[in-house]
Structure 1
Amino acid sequence: MIKDKLYNWFKEGSLTIPSVLLTHYPKMGLDEKEVMLLLQLQNFIEKGENFPAPSQIADRMTFEESECLFMIQRLIQRGFVMIEEEVDRTIGDERYSLQPLYEKMITSYLVSQKQEEAVQVQVEGESLYTVFEQEFGRPLSPFECETLAMWQDDEHHPDLIKGALRESVISGKINFRYIDRILFEWKKNGIKTVEQAKAQSQKFRSYQKREKKQDNQPVKDVPFYNWLEQ
């Protein structure tokens, strides 16, 4: 008897709820009642009942049929639900579609991602100014701030800009012109990641040492500042 009940419970199935709906529904202009109604519609559709009556939905809810009908109409007007008509020979059949809801969820998610990226870029930009001022030991001039913003607009990743700064420190040439030259060379050579920049720097130092040996000059070890680990 208990097994039969459990089996019947198992046959009821389960409902997959998109996490984006749970985390973004306020941003999409939905309230808790509307979200629950949309989930009820999804459950009916998944069970093959594509056009449940408001009374059927209301039986599962805590409000009356009239309010349920009003909410469905409002969701249709606001573009969360769509009624499609399926024509099978001479018989017209209507069904609810939640495709508009899914499209709004995708849009809301993408907008949220862009906002997060914009915030991250702003934070990284502020961090860059702080790092440069610490290395230079003074506030940056308006021209230097403009140059730093220009590098970022030129799609140089903040980590690469920091790496170019560290390279200038190693070479004892802490100035924006020298840093700009490093970034120019990296971009010309297709360097887009800090790992590639590190390999390029090591290759350049090895080349310098070989040149000095060929000229029979004393080789002075060049300190290598591992800025990637900072």
Structure 2
Amino acid sequence: MKEKEMLIDWMEDGMTSIPNVLLKNYKRLQLNETEMMVLLHIYSFAQKGISFPSFEDLSERMSISSADCAAYVKKMIQKQVISIEQGEQTGFEFYSLKPLWSKMAFLFESDARGQSFQQAMTDERDLYSLFEAEFGRPLSAIECETLALWIDQDQHDPSVIKAALREAVLSMKLNFRYIDRILFEWKKQGIKTVEQAREQGRKFRKPAGAEQVKRSENAVPFYNWLEQ
């Protein structure tokens, strides 16, 4: 009788269906086994109606601490595998796996076109490393999400985002709001390449006369994009 009750409990707890295509390709998404398990638990919680499990909830199912779970979730946000979104009606935050499925689709599209998916992934990872190096600290979850949106939603090429970061560094206004404004203006002006971005930056920083040239000998003039 006890065994029968246990079986009933197991069945009522439900089952998690994992796409085989994910199991076969998570390595190509640059996910390690621990990140994959965290992802699967988030997926499992979602199937049970828990869309935003805490790090403690995840840790209880695993052999790693809640702090480690938080670190792995942040890494997956950086890798644009998951995102944190807010429900339009409820206003509550939840984990979205849309970035994961988008990357899977991009992976197969790249294979079909004969392009290097791994190179694209490497470029994105290097972009996060560059931002952290310039800011002198790890990026926050919100900053990682912003960076992911620039790539996925706004369709900015990583090289153009690097150019916007350089513009912010030259302007001594190293913050995400300023960089976002630069990218917004560039997109509005149809700037899609690093060469176009550099030309735009040179145009705005070009001294208007000899006096400005003299003043700029020991300093880099900049354009304040927030005043656009």
Q: Could you state the TM-score of these two structures normalised by the residue count of structure 1? A: 0.46
Give TM-score scaled by structure 2 length: 0.47
